[in-house]
Amino acid sequence: MIHDHVPKAVETVIIGAGQAGLAMSWYLGRAGRDHILLDRRELLGGGWRDRWNSFRLVTPNWSASFPGFPYEGEDPDGFMPRDEIAARVAGYSVAIDAPIVLGTTVERLSTRDGGGFLLETSDGPIGCRDVIVATGGFHTPKIPGVAAGLASRPTQIHSHNYTEEADLPPGAVLIVGTGQSGVQMAEELFAAGRRVYLSVGSAGRYPRRYRGKDVVWWFDQLQRHGAEFGTGLPTIDNLPDPRMRLATFPHMSGHGGGHDTNLRRMAADGITLVGHLDAIDGEKVRLAPDLEKSLARADSYFDDRARTSIDLLITRAKMDVPPDDRVPFAFDPPELPELDLAAAGISTVIWACGYRLDFGWLDLPILDDFGVPRQNRGVSAEVPGLYFIGLPWLHTAMSATLVGVGLDAEHLAGRMGLLKADEPVRASAKS
């Protein structure tokens, strides 16, 4: 239900009406809790509407199952295009009759004397007892400082502002970053006939399929059932370095029915891979001699981080699945020490460098040295009544994905006392 203005007071405010906020709304509504969702966008569908025209999910369609709203479509193993997943999120809000105010920005959140919170919004103030922050972790497009040295001639945009190949000026394209967006855009532009240069970053890669199943299916099994068999996904408590919470999610693709995105194969096919950008002076780019190191890291990422846990689950759960049939692809692209943008005919630079967190509107002393809210599985210990959902590594690497948000929402609902007396928080859920 869309409301045309914010109320003066309500029991609970959810900030953000994407899948994470809506999942919490389902629990609140079922428990009879008075609440409202505020979203800065004018249209329902969450951050999916911000993606480029040909975007597709990198997680299978079945992953777009939300509390009280399971996926029941005809193509569970396909990969939805942008407009379909945005429409599904919008449809979820209708199905659960979520109370939403669109086009409303929260400008400041602070505590009130005597308890509760005050939200200052673009539509006026609102007081409440509890606040659930469901704004995700992709707030402000990140452009590295080295970009300041770039001459004015090449068009430069962040991947957030990329729409389609035809909108770019004629010429070659330099894409900086090999997370999911950068790699998929490189494939799209190369397929359209563009000369593509791709600066390889630190992101790892996942195989699309492993031992007969989509790799995301295995991650879902690990988070639901891993504990039963002494394995599972790493949690935030296992991270050796807190900076890893901000790392780019490994790349793969949902295009063409889903496929691996092997940078070495892309290089063999004709995309020019280069190292990190060390410095830019006008149109002369100095490149770091780290291409092979970055490719080796991407190649080993899955085996180093996930394969052992999956294999343990297979063995201990006595699963009848085929062996690992991955075949390494051997190709060593040359390392370039520098790149002359004009000589290479590069007309566009796309900064596919991810996003920065922006919680500057939180007038509360709860941000750590990395700008991340301090919380324990979504619960703030420092500010009673303040909760978070949809953050990267809220609990595991899946927390900011379609695959993880439902289980995180269930856990948080239990912590908030929203579950029925005979419905304890589950360590795992049915597949």
CA 24 to chain centre: 18
pLDDT the model gives residue 320: 98
pLDDT the model gives residue 423: 67
CA R_g for the chain:
22
* Residue 430 scores a pLDDT above 50: no
* Residue 424 scores a pLDDT above 60: no
- Give residue-wise pLDDT tens across range 55-108: 999 999 999 999 999 999 999 999 999 999 999 999 999 999 999 999 999 999
Q: How far apart are CA 84 and CA 88, in angstroms?
A: 6
As a whole number, mean pLDDT of residues 99-125 equals 96
* Residue 167 scores a pLDDT above 70: yes
pLDDT the model gives residue 241: 86
- Give residue-wise pLDDT tens across range 184-232: 999 999 999 999 999 999 999 999 999 999 999 999 999 999 999 999 9
244: exposed, middle or buried (Cβ count in 10 Å: 0-12, 13-18, 19+) = middle
Residue 71, CA distances (Å) to 67, 278, 411 in order: 10, 45, 21
* Residue 314 scores a pLDDT above 70: yes
Whether the Cβ atoms of residue 163 and residue 53 lie closer than 8 Å to each other: yes
209-210/213-214 β-pairing? antiparallel
- Give residue-wise pLDDT tens across range 246-299: 888 899 999 999 999 999 999 999 999 999 999 999 999 999 999 999 999 999
In one-letter notation, the amino acid at residue 327 is: V
- Specify the 3-state DSSP secondary structure of 119: strand
- Specify the 3-state DSSP secondary structure of 44: coil
* Residue 425 scores a pLDDT above 60: no
pLDDT the model gives residue 411: 96
Average pLDDT over the chain, rounded to whole?
94
124-133/355-356 β-pairing? unpaired
Nearest Cα residue to 41 out of 127, 114, 103, 129: 103
* Residue 429 scores a pLDDT above 50: no
Question: Where does 232-355 have alpha helices with state H?
Answer: 263-269, 291-302, 308-316
Residue 339, CA distances (Å) to 209, 217, 244, 336 in order: 35, 41, 30, 7
- Give residue-wise pLDDT tens across range 42-58: 999 999 999 999 999 99
pLDDT band at 421 (very low <50, low <70, confident <90, very high): low
